[in-house]
Structure 1
């Protein structure tokens, strides 16, 4: 059965959550006290192949003592690089048997929550790939458990550590382009198949290197087919979250942070093509509306575009738009980022901002995305994209998928974790877990 979050579990208003980008240092005490800054962490990798290789290299300064992957071939490079590390296919066995300080979760989206929450419940620090979770409720629970366990956490939206993103946040919050009321975010994804109308009908046997049952995890029982793996799982609702889940945690990050957006009031499907019950759309345009959030932060409309869709031509006239980027429209001008991460930006029209001075630095610059998390694990300042920030951010992102799947505008009640007057959205806000895979909360 699906775990359903009770209203009493609501942590605080989402506006208050996103107003604080990271927790106070003295809140992270339990697991962080295990290691001094000069000691190395014992880290287990949950998902050692694919994206897990990049994350593995990001934490290579520490002791990588255990490797877990459901596909031996996919993880072969990690097995060769760390021949002394213990090997597992089932992360639950790894967590039970190994003496770890932290884990890195680089599995497909549908496994993030159960792997990360299982680890946090054991007092382990967690680095988890984006999107933080497969469902909105899972994101809320990840935030809750991380706070309860007082562990160091980090979501894998690497752009958060970029100095350019942090400077852009300072520029916006200083009022350089005036009050922002409109945001446009676009991506070249999907770059994998999406918009399939039905599941494959052909029966196939999984390769011997793969444990298909462990790949499924909490997802419903489904026969193996090669169209699901190794990377194309992103285009199937049971395992991935489509173009939106893959890229919005990167491309919308700077705007979400700078504008302290919190939870949207509503999400509207402006356009979608190829959407089906089993697969995200080939392309879509979504409209999120956010209420005012205090002085200097008026109501905002945020538009999301994927599958080749772009902002209105009259708005971006004269710009040679890249395949991914973002544009924030303020009363005094615009801030344009031609970058997935928001790591570079320019102020428009350029003639109006030739003499502009940068505001005082208010956000510390990062020692590096992975280094931030490692230092937090050892008792340092929390990483900027810790789950207190990343959880509400992921909720906002995934609500777009909820609107797509119900096929109409949803009015969001963040406190009750419900789409008001839309009970059919519940199954997309939460998920039913396969027997034996319920969340340990």
Structure 2
């Protein structure tokens, strides 16, 4: 991106009460007077359970460490021991099901930072126990799980937040304000791209010894059993495998598609078409292009959103050189390219004297801080599951279309593909006994 115009640096039995009040609540939103009164006061620390203690999970724990960490869970004993040394008063577990069952009445909320295939089993169990929930992106491993978690959180009235941390940044707010102001006219198309690639490889043909610190059976969790293979799954490579992750689209889609979702008030697409290398039964692609079609709404006309990742990521769009990852809004009166920290209006000469509208979206107190505050007083979060659920569904539908091998038509109301019955096998999945969602 050349010469950006603007740059930004970036107690009471709570479960019974929440269940009784569920009919009038919004997940992550306003709970009503009684719920606010029974929540922990601003001066009290939340009692938190943490699923996962290393890597992304460790980053989340750092953001909530000023609260009271009462439970820690990790399948890797080395990771767990390191976290426990920092929070010696926390009770430690290897199995989050046991932690939630044992400690739900001694905790207020849960922070989930495990691999994608564990998000829904942990989150649903916690939400049904009345715990407020912070969960990393993508919210779930399947489309059906995203809908189930969204509905459960709404029904239980808990405060929720998905881990799309950049949503709290000032630059995203300014982009949303400018798009909504009509500066580039009516947006008809959005390009979203990431030059990262999680994919490729073949199923290992041999089994390696399981490291002594790792409980491999618990790591597999709800997935079908398979032998341990060194360097192939734990701790990071799981994103490449359909059984555990959703590739680059699953990893980064919720971050970058978040911006057009917010700015344009997107919900569910009607048609999705994907292009890439022939689908592999085990691993995600090294490059993907997905075209989402959204019907007109009161916030936008008919809209096409195109996603590119890996070796499909463009270096130029519509004659404009673009950075390695970003978003390009195409409007009837101009264009805007945006990254996490900056934006630029195009053509440059037309917008040389552009003055952005006065800020109207309040600055965030911090992505995790929003959620902590919501847990205590019921104020809304900006990435609650009512918002993040549809975003996650849309992201994951791109992989459904890709694995199906053609265009799919999506019936959001009934949670099914209408033009290809075979595609519906990828909307949900089968769980190992004891891990059902």
5 Å matches for 1:319-330? 319=321, 321-330=322-331
Instruction: Please name the residue that 2:381 is paired with.
Output: 383
CA distance in 1, matches of 2:253, 2:34: 31
Alignment of 1:279 with 2:283, yes or no, is yes
Candidates 392, 395, 413, aligned match of 1:394: 392
Deviation at 1:316, TM superposition (A): 4.2
* Counterpart selection for 2:150 from 133, 143, 154: 143
Distance 1:407 1:167 in 2: 38
Contact 1:137/1:430 (<8 A) preserved: yes
| SS class of match (2:377) | coil
Contact 1:31/1:123 (CA < 8 Å) preserved in 2? no
Q: The residue matched to 1:345 in structure 2 has which SS?
A: strand
Q: Which is further off, 351-360 or 377-386?
A: 351-360
1:346 matched to 2:349:
no
Q: Does 1:370 align with 2:368?
A: yes
In the alignment, is residue 407 of structure 1 matched against residue 405 of structure 2? yes
Corresponding residue number in structure 2 for 1:167: 174
C-alpha deviations, 1:313-334, integer Å up to 9, x for none?
Answer: 35143x3x32211111111111
Runs (4 or more) in structure 1 with deviation over 6 Å come to none
How far does residue 362 in structure 1 lie from its aligned partner after superposition? 3.3
User: 2: distance between equivalents of 1:23 and 1:368?
Assistant: 15
Listed one character per residue, the Cα deviations across residues 355-402 of structure 1 (whole Å, up to 9, x for unaligned) are 323224332220011110100010141210010100011000000010
> What CA distance in whole angstroms lies between the structure 1 residues aligned with 2:32 and 2:308?
38
Q: Find the partner of 1:213 among 211, 217, 220.
A: 217
Distance 1:162 1:185, change over 3 A: same
Partner of 2:425: 427
- For structure 2, the 5+ residue unaligned runs are 1-25
The 1-side partners of 2:60 and 2:37 are apart by: 20
What's the CA shift for 1:30? 4.1
**CA positional deviation for 1:274:** 6.0
The aligned residue for residue 333 of structure 1 is 334
Quick check: 1:65 aligned with 2:70? yes
Q: Which digits, 9 at most, give the CA deviation of each residue in 1:149-197, with x for residues without a partner? A: 100000000011111101211111111111001111111222x5x222x
Distance 1:322 1:313 in 2: 9
Q: Secondary structure at the match of 1:426?
A: helix
Q: How far 1:405 sits from its partner (Å)?
A: 1.0
Aligned to 2:9: none
Q: Contact between 1:188 and 1:324, CA under 8 Å: does it hold in 2?
A: yes
Change (3 A) 1:287 1:230: same
- Please say if 1:110 is aligned against 2:117: yes
Q: Tell me, yes or no, if structure 1 residue 127 matches structure 2 residue 134.
A: yes
Matched, 1:267 2:268: no
Q: For the Cα contact (< 8 Å) 2:27–2:154, is it kept in 1?
A: no
What is the number of equivalent residue pairs in this alignment? 409
CA contact (8 A) 1:282 1:307 kept: yes
Q: Is the CA contact 2:143–2:428 (under 8 Å) kept in the aligned structure 1?
A: yes
Q: Structure 1: which 5+ residue stretches go unaligned?
A: 1-20
The within-5 A match list for 1:144-293 is: 144-190=151-197, 192=198, 194-196=199-201, 198-226=202-230, 227-269=232-274, 271-273=275-277, 275-293=279-297
CA distance in 1, matches of 2:415, 2:327: 28
Q: Normalization by structure 2: what TM-score?
A: 0.90
- Measured against aligned partners, the alpha-carbon deviations of 1:133-152 in whole angstroms (never above 9, x if no partner) come to 00000000111001011000
Contact persistence 1:48–1:69 (CA under 8 A)? yes
Cα distance in structure 2, aligned partners of 1:376 and 1:36:
11
TM-score by length of 1: 0.89
Aligned mates of 1:183, 1:242 — CA distance in 2: 21
Q: What is the alpha-carbon distance in structure 1 between the residues aligned to residue 169 and residue 344 of structure 2? A: 15
Contact kept, 8 Å, 2:28 with 2:161, in 1: the verdict is: no
Residues 27-65 of structure 1: CA deviation (Å, up to 9, x unaligned):
596488330011000101101111111000010110111
Q: Distance in 2 between matches of 1:314 and 1:89?
A: 47
Residues 28, 159 of structure 2: 8 Å contact kept: no
